[in-house]
Amino acid sequence: MTDVYTAISTTYGYPHSERFLRVLKLLMNKEEAEVAAALPAPVEDLSVKLSKTAADINRLLAGLFHRGVVFETRKGYQLARSLVQLHDATSSDPRSDAIYGGKLLDLWADFDVGEWYKDIVEVSRAFPTAPSRVLPARGAVAPGVRLLPAEDVTSLIENSWKYAVVPCSCRRIHHRCERTMNTCLQLNRAAEYVIKRGSGVELSKEEALGLFDAAAKNGLIHTIPNVAGYSTIMCNCCPDCCIGIAPFAKYGEKKNSFDKSRFAATVNAESCSGCQDCVDICPFEAIEMVQSPGSKKLKAAVNKDKCYGCGICAVSCVTRCIELEEVRPPEHIPTYLESDGGLSSLHEKS
């Protein structure tokens, strides 16, 4: 018979992965894995099937819940619905360091780089639309340009009713940079989940908006699932650690798991001081210094093909000579995201 760990790893598409099995075996002992593998099911059914008392089942489920392995739903507990959800929920909680030391993060890093990176790149080739999309930073878009609700950080936050922040799972696992850690914004039901679990910190609306302004100044890219409708997760990503960027760099792909925003940066050469701060902070290496006509100074110039329209350069520019201009129509934002399980496994988060 297939053992319970292999049954669970098969659920996530990695039945033969020794790396993933090591993660699962660290996250739960065999008794807990037996309960997890039998989900979803009512506690009463689990009690009969596994010959345990209801109290024991509830105790095991509570432990798995607080470690991010299982989630509460209206129909009871269930396993994390995707590999990304399991990955992020179990690795973003700093309290887990007291349980595992750095071992859990190291095992995830080994799985990510050793197997998952390649699969993320392979899966992305099958879809015309990226699973996530870049959002322009607040204050970066040129005056008079209308932002759509699905791309407006302010609108997305103001139209939500619950806010919480958790540390970035990618930076905790791969720690290739020193950028701000507490930047993964959870909204509404997702916020309620991390607050109840204790893995996130509740924020006010003003604190959530301030988090995004500070993240942009820190060189972090705002991203969101690539749909026109409502989302419960808004990320702030770095090019060094992010699982939406690093796999593509590793395998030499000239793209990422993000679609560009509808905007691209443009520079007013007359106002540009030539400080090169924008060159240093651009996460997509889309800005270079060029000789400007009529000036002895080198001025910033944007490669529109490389620019993702994140606006980090604009909000970081001391002379305010950079702003985002609209270069793509509203139809650039899809009204839905086709999913056959492969794509959803890349963009679903908890």
pLDDT exceeds cutoff 70 at 333 = yes
Percent of the chain predicted with pLDDT > 70: 94
Exposed e or buried b for every residue in 37-47, given b needs 16+ CB within 10 A?
bbbebebeebb
- Residue whose structure tokens are 């997760």: 233
CATH label of the domain that carries residue 284: 3.30.70.20
Rounded CA-CA distance 58/101 in Å is 26
pLDDT exceeds cutoff 80 at 342 = no
Phi, psi at 83, each rounded to 5°: -65, -40
What pLDDT shows up at residue 165? 98
- Give the mean model confidence (pLDDT) for residues 311-327: 96
Residues 23, 158, single domain; the answer is: no
**Digit-coded pLDDT (tens) for 9-62:** 999 999 999 999 999 999 999 999 999 999 999 999 999 999 999 999 999 999
Residues 199, 142, single domain; the answer is: yes
Residues 199, 338, single domain; the answer is: yes
**Digit-coded pLDDT (tens) for 65-106:** 999 999 998 888 999 999 999 999 999 999 999 999 999 999
What pLDDT shows up at residue 120? 94
CATH label of the domain that carries residue 35: 1.10.10
Spatial contact of 255 and 128, defined as CB atoms under 8 Å apart: no
Confidence tier at 229 by pLDDT (50, 70, 90): low
Residues 84, 176, single domain; the answer is: no
| Domain carrying residue 275 | 263-326
Compute and round to an integer the Cα radius of gyration of the chain. 22
How high is the mean pLDDT of the chain? 91
Residues 66, 39, single domain; the answer is: yes
Residues 109, 16, single domain; the answer is: yes
Rounded CA-CA distance 152/104 in Å is 36
Residues 234, 137, single domain; the answer is: yes
Residues 251, 135, single domain; the answer is: yes
Phi, psi at 93, each rounded to 5°: -90, 110
Rounded CA-CA distance 286/13 in Å is 36
When divided into structural domains, the chain yields a total of 3
pTM, 2 dp: 0.90
